[in-house]
Amino acid sequence: MTARASGSAPGAALAGLVAAPVVVGLGYSAAAAIGLAGPAARGLSLVHIDRVMRDATVWRGLAWTIYAAALATALATAAAVAVAIGFRGTGIGDRLARIAALVPFPIPYVVAAAGAVLVLGQSGLLARLAAAAGVIHDPSGFPPLVLDRPGLGFILTFAWKEVPFLTFVAVSVLATRGQQLEETARTLGASPAATLRRVTVPLLWRGLAPAVVLVFIFIAGTYEGAALLGPTDPLPFAVATYERYQALDLTLRGDGFVLTLLGLILGLAAVAVFEWTRARAERLRS
């Protein structure tokens, strides 16, 4: 008991140390959002909250961000699951495929985004190749994939960048827990398709879901990639937040803190949805 108590105290202290900056930041953001802190703070006021709530561009930007982050996460998840299930053997081909899926891992996000501009832009590598091959008359005829409203460049880049992380988790889940359960199912007479559907996929879902939620929250909150690849209108949420925080008009800085809090709510909502779906799945299984 004593040992447990002494063990938990440093743990609690460490947790507090990790959480403290977030809590302080949250408190400061809340104070700045109501005019009690930050540049040009002039006392308690709801003007920043009111202005953000009435600003349609904020909500359009938020909707775009959720759409783009969800689509990029879904694509990355699908690719990671395909690699984890399709190339799980010990043969050289399977190993090479798994290694290939991990290649984007060490590339910094901002480098990936800048690279995407060079490859996907209307004067980029793909456009020039297409023009050289005669597919389009001129590179400018290439469809806009950067700074475009559908956010194709952003989605493809972040999906590509997140495949390694999700593949790593998916492969680990299957390697540590999958094999034994699958063999048991097959021993009991389950077909390969039934094993995949009833054992492998649920296992992956349970193991991968937290990572998927993390990836969604990360993509939704990313700034550099959104600034380089995202559309001008709707403006990605992170860019809109930073823009207000850097605005020449000091009275707009407080709006940036309101958006920061909204971003936090978005992240918490993603976690809540994840917990709800997991609890529901647990209930269905039991």
Partner 1 sequence: MLAAAACGHRAAARDATRDATRDATRGVTRGVTPGLASAAALARMPWDSVVARARGSTVRWLLWRGDPAINHYVDEWLAPRLAMRYGITLDPVDAQGPAILNALVVEREAGRTVGTADLLWINGETFHNLRREGLLAGPWARSLPAAALVDTASPIVARDFGEDPAGYESPWGRVELALIYDSTRTPEPPRTYEALADWVHAHPGRFTYDQGFTGLAFLTGLMIHLGGGASRFTGPFDSARYVAASARLWDWLARARPDLWRHGAAYPQGVAQLEHLFANREVDFAMSYNENEVVSKVRDGALPATSRAYVLRDGALANAHFVAIPFNAPNAAGAMVVANVLLSPEAQLEKARPDGWGDGSVLAVDRLPPEWARRFARLPADARQVPRDTLARYAEPEASPRYSELLQSDWRTHVRTGTTEDPSAGGDPESRTTRPALRSGP
Q: Which residues bind partner 1 (CB under 8 A)?
A: 37-40, 47, 50-51, 54-57, 117, 121-124, 139-140, 144, 147-149, 227-228, 231-233, 235, 239, 243, 245-253
Q: With respect to partner 1, which residue has the nearer C-beta, 144 or 210? A: 144
- For residue 75, the minimal CB distance to partner 1 (Å) is 23
Q: With respect to partner 1, which residue has the nearer C-beta, 161 or 253? A: 253
Q: With respect to partner 1, which residue has the nearer C-beta, 71 or 235? A: 235
- For residue 7, the minimal CB distance to partner 1 (Å) is 35
| Gap between the Cα atoms of 268 and 249, Å rounded | 30
- For residue 262, the minimal CB distance to partner 1 (Å) is 16
In 10 A of CB 130, how many CB atoms? Answer: 18
In 10 A of CB 149, how many CB atoms? Answer: 12
As given in the structure block, the two tokens for residue 236 are 């990605």
Give the HSE-up count for residue 133: Cα atoms under 13 Å, Cβ half-sphere.
8
Q: With respect to partner 1, which residue has the nearer C-beta, 140 or 191? A: 140
- For residue 245, the minimal CB distance to partner 1 (Å) is 7
Q: Residues near 167 by Cβ (< 8 Å), separated by ≥ 6?
A: 79, 80, 83, 84, 98, 101, 102
- For residue 154, the minimal CB distance to partner 1 (Å) is 13
Q: How far is CA 258 from CA 27, 47, 136, 255, in A?
A: 12, 10, 45, 5
Q: How many degrees, rounded to 5, is the angle at CA 59 between CA 35 and CA 111?
A: 95
Q: With respect to partner 1, which residue has the nearer C-beta, 74 or 252? A: 252
| Gap between the Cα atoms of 38 and 236, Å rounded | 23
- For residue 274, the minimal CB distance to partner 1 (Å) is 32
As given in the structure block, the two tokens for residue 71 are 């689509």
Q: Collapsing DSSP states into helix, strand and coil, what is residue 148?
A: coil
Q: With respect to partner 1, which residue has the nearer C-beta, 138 or 183? A: 138
